[in-house]
Amino acid sequence: MASREEALDMLAQAELIHSAETLAAAVDRVAGEITARLGESNPLVLCVMTGGIMFAGQLMARLPFPADFDYLHATRYGQDTAGGALSWRAAPWTSVKDRTVLVVDDILDEGVTLAAVKDRLLHQGAKAVYLAVVADKENGKDKPVAADFTALTVPDRFVFGYGMDAYGAWRNLPAIYALKGQ
């Protein structure tokens, strides 16, 4: 975990990638795309904790149709800046059987975590699983899964803000930044 001083220093040296205004417009656009595709299906929206919470909260407020809400927690990062082994910390309380499910997360990086989440939900009987992410990282890698709904793309750097953290700090920023030198 970064200390207060370290967190402030990180932000002071960081490069702005997407402003709060750009993010708000992108979330509006994604909400429209989701409404057009899932608005008649009464989907179950699952937030991937903890990174997806900001996007999920703002996205849910823009969906003009009934939707159930729950969460799951699967991660490969913890406090690290590079992915490791997949860790399942919490499964959804709501049954996904015969449901259309919309999984909301912060970033599609290598795609391993979201691919595992999607596979697990389908194995549990979900009728369909759609993925919505704030950011799709342009890393040139062959990802095992693609997002159905993407707000923005980000460069192949360590990004933070809008749900994504930098050493435990700055999930609360309304914009997306990249760490200096990354």
Domains, the chain, ranges and CATH? 4-178 (3.40.50.2020)
Q: Which residues contact 125 (CB under 8 A, 6 or more apart)?
A: 95, 96, 97, 98
Q: Tell me the pLDDT band of 85, cut-offs 50, 70 and 90.
A: low
Nearest residue to 72 via CA among 82, 58, 57, 87: 87
Tell me what pLDDT residue 76 has: 65
Per residue in 70-80, pLDDT (tens digit) is 999 987 655 44
Query: How many angstroms separate the CA atoms of 115 and 143, rounded?
Result: 9
The rounded mean pLDDT for the chain is 93
Query: What is the three-class DSSP state of 10?
Result: helix
Tell me what pLDDT residue 91 has: 84
Per residue in 32-50, pLDDT (tens digit) is 999 999 999 999 999 999 8
